[in-house]
Structure 1
Amino acid sequence: MSAAIENPKRDRASEGTGVNMETPHITIHHSKSTPGPLRVHIHTTPFAARLGGNQEFVLDRTDPKNAAVLEDIPDAATHMTVKQALDLRGFRQLILWKAAVVEGIGTMLLVYATDWCTLSPAGYPPPPDPLSASGVFSTASFLGPLVGGVTSAIFIAMYIFCFGAVTGGHLNPLITIATFFTRLTSLPRAILYVSFQLIGASLAGLLIRASYDSRDFKVGGCWLNPAEISISSAFANEFSGSLVILFMAFGVGLDPRQRQIFGPALGPIFVGLAVGTVAFSMAFTRPGYGGAAMNPARCFGAYVGSRFPAWHWIHWVATFAASIFHGIVYYMVPPWGGLAGQHERQLVRDEEK
C-alpha cells in the first residue's frame, strides 16, 4: 500500500522545480513489505546562506528549470551577480517577509537568553587585586564570561537548529551583512533580516528590563569602562573578534566542501562553540571591558532595555569592516571551483553514479 499527500497550492516560482516557495510539499510512502515508520519528504525553501547547512539546500544556477525560482529569489543559489544581489523586487516576495519575521522572533529569544545569563549590575567591577596569586581568574571578570561563553555556545547552536530550516538561522546582523558581501544573501533579504533582528532584539531588551525590574544593568560583551580602556582598543577587539567569528562560521557552516566531511548537521554545533569560545576568551583579559559583542543586535537590545552609550557605533562599524574584509578574501578564494561550481557539481554527480 502506498499513499501520497500533496498540497496543490503552489506559486508560479515552484512549478517545474520541485521546490514549493509558499507551502511545504509532503509526500508520504508506506509499504506492507517495510512495516517501518512513514517516510516524509519535505522540500525546504532553498537559500544559499543557510547557516549550518553548508549550502545543502541550494539550486543549480545553470539549470534552466530553476530560472523561475531564481528570478524571484536570486539567493536561492550561489554566485549572484551584483545586479541580482541588488534587485529590489525581492521586497515583493511574501516568503522573504515571513522568513524575516521568524528571524526577528528567533533573535528576540536568543538575545533574551544570552543577555540574561550574563546580566550584572550597572556598576563597573573593581580591578583584580594585584597581590592575589590567582589574579583575574578568581574574580567575576573571569567567571562571568566563562558562564556566558558556555551558555551562549549551547543557546546559539540550539537556536540555529530551531530556526535554520525557515530563515537560515542567522540571528545576528554580523552574519547577515557578511553573507551579503559574499553574494550569498540578496539586498532585500539582508535589509529585512537586519530590520527584524533589531526589532526582535529591542523586544528582548524591554523584556529584560521588565524581568530585572530595573534599567540599571549591563550584559557581557556590551559594556566598557572608559576610564580603564580606550574606545580605539575596544574597536580593535570588536573588529578582530568579528573577523574570527566570520571565518569560523563560514568555514564550518557555509562551506560546501565541509558537507562532504562533516555533513550539513554539525555546522550549528561548531558555530555555537566558535562564538562561545571567542566570547569567553576575549572578555576577561582587559579590566574594565566586557569583551567583544560580535552581534550588534544583542547589544542594541541590551541598550534599549538599559541606556545607549556614546560608543555603541563600534559594534556596527566593526561589523561592516569585518564583513567587507572577509568578503574580499571570500571573493579571492571562493569555496567553489570556476564561476558556477561546475567542477564540484561534476564530482558529486560522479560519486552518485
Structure 2
Amino acid sequence: MEGKEEDVKLGANKFPERQPIGTAAQTDKDYKEPPPAPLFEPGELQSWSFYRAGIAEFVATFLFLYIAILTVMGVSQGKTKCATVGVQGIAWAFGGMIFALVYCTAGISGGHINPAVTFGLFLARKLSLTRAVFYIIMQCLGAICGAGVVKGLQGEARYELLKGGANFVNHGYTTGDGLGAEIIGTFVLVYTVFSATDAKRHARDSHVPILAPLPIGFAVFLVHLATIPITGTGINPARSLGAAIIYNRGHAWDDQWIFWVGPFIGAALAAVYHQLIIRAIPFKARA
C-alpha cells in the first residue's frame, strides 16, 4: 500500500477504496457495477424461471415455518427449561433453517424467504417490482401452509394452549420497545444479506471462500437471542403473518402491524445504509 498515489476525484471518489493488505483484490477499473433492475419487467411473467423462483420461495418459507414453529411450541410445552432446547435452541432452529434454506434456494430465487429481505433488495434495485410482489405473496402463502401443518400435528387443544407460536410484544415491554427491536433486528439481518451477497466484495476478495448463507443464518441466530424476550422475534413478516392467521385470535392481531412496519423500516434503513454509506453508489454514478 505504501507509495500508492491517491486519485484526486470529486465527491465520494476523492479517496478511492483501498485493497485490504494481503489480498489479490480487483481494482475499481476491473469491476463494473451491474445495471439496476427495471421497475417493471412484464416479460418475466412469460418466463418459467420466474414461476420456478416463486415456487422455491413458497417451499422454503413453508419448511422454515414448519421447523421454526414446531421448535417454539416444543419449548413452550416443556415443564422445565432443562427438558427442552430452550431459547438458544429456538434461535438455532431459526438461524440453522435460514442457513440451510438460503443455501438450497440461492441459485434459484436468491433465497429471500422473508418479505423484509425482498423489500430491501427491491429498494436497492436488485430485483423488479414484479418479482418482489410475487415473492412476497409466495412467501406469505408458504408461511400460512407451514403454520397450518404445525396446527394439524399438534391438535386443536395443544395448539391453542401454546398460542400457535404467534408473535406478541411480551409482558413488561411497550409497543415502542417491540417496534424498536424489530427495526434494529431486521436492520442487522438485511445489512448482513447485502454484505454477504455484495458482488463487488466477491470480485475483490475472490480468493477468500465466502459462503453467503452462513453469515445470514448466524445473523438470524444472534438477533433471536437478543429479541426473543421482547417480541418472540419476528424480523420476518411472513413468519408472523402465517402464525397469526392459523392461530387467529384477537391478541395475535393486536401487535401484527409491528411485525410488518418494524421489519420494513429496518430493511429500508439497511438498503439505504449499504447503498449510500458502504458502497456510495449514488455518488460514484455522478462522478
TM class, shorter-chain normalised?
0.7 to 0.9
Q: What do you get for the CA RMSD once the two structures are aligned?
A: 3.1
Task: Say whether 1:305 aligns with 2:246.
Answer: yes
1:205-259 deviations in whole A, cap 9, x for unaligned? Answer: 110110111241346682334x532222111111111111111221123353145
2:168 alignment partner AA: W
CA contact (8 A) 2:116 2:263 kept: yes
| Match 2:36 to one of 55, 80, 83 | 80
CA contact (8 A) 2:61 2:142 kept: yes
CA contact (8 A) 1:239 1:321 kept: yes
Counterpart for residue 253 of structure 1: 197
Counterpart for residue 25 of structure 1: none
Instruction: Report 1:107-126 matches (<5 A).
Output: 107-119=61-73
Instruction: Report 1:323-334 matches (<5 A).
Output: 323-333=267-277
CA contact (8 A) 1:174 1:296 kept: yes
The 2-side partners of 1:255 and 1:185 are apart by 14
The 2-side partners of 1:171 and 1:255 are apart by 20
Query: Unaligned regions of 5+ residues in structure 2, if any?
Result: 1-30
Secondary structure of 1:276's counterpart equals: helix
Dislocated runs of 4+, deviation >6 Å: none
| Match 1:106 to one of 44, 57, 60 | 60
The 1-side partners of 2:274 and 2:35 are apart by 12
Distance apart, 1:297 and its partner CA: 0.9
Secondary structure of 2:106's counterpart equals: helix
Distance apart, 1:101 and its partner CA: 1.4
The 2-side partners of 1:250 and 1:240 are apart by 15
CA contact (8 A) 2:168 2:255 kept: no
The TM-score normalised by the length of structure 2 is 0.75
| Match 2:215 to one of 254, 258, 270 | 270
Task: Say whether 1:223 aligns with 2:168.
Answer: yes
| Match 2:228 to one of 283, 287, 298 | 283
The TM-score normalised by the length of structure 1 is 0.62
1:213 alignment partner AA: G
Secondary structure of 1:161's counterpart equals: helix
Aligned length: 246
Distance apart, 1:88 and its partner CA: 4.1
The 2-side partners of 1:97 and 1:261 are apart by 31
The 1-side partners of 2:64 and 2:225 are apart by 17
Distance apart, 1:144 and its partner CA: 2.9
The 2-side partners of 1:78 and 1:222 are apart by 38
2:65 alignment partner AA: V
Distance apart, 1:327 and its partner CA: 2.5
Task: Say whether 1:188 aligns with 2:130.
Answer: yes
Structure with the largest fraction of helix: 2
Cα 1:180–1:263 change in 2 (3 A) is farther
Instruction: Report 1:1-353 matches (<5 A).
Output: 78-80=34-36, 84-119=38-73, 144-214=86-156, 215-216=159-160, 217-218=162-163, 222-225=167-170, 227-254=171-198, 256-258=200-202, 260=205, 263=208, 265-284=210-229, 289-307=230-248, 308-333=252-277, 335=279, 338-339=284-285
Distance apart, 1:263 and its partner CA: 4.9
Distance apart, 1:192 and its partner CA: 0.6
2:241 alignment partner AA: F
Identity fraction in percent: 21
Largest Rg, 1 or 2: 1
1:44-78 deviations in whole A, cap 9, x for unaligned? Answer: xxxxxxxxxxxxxxxxx98xxxxxxxxxxxxxx83
Structure with the largest fraction of strand: 1
CA contact (8 A) 2:119 2:132 kept: yes
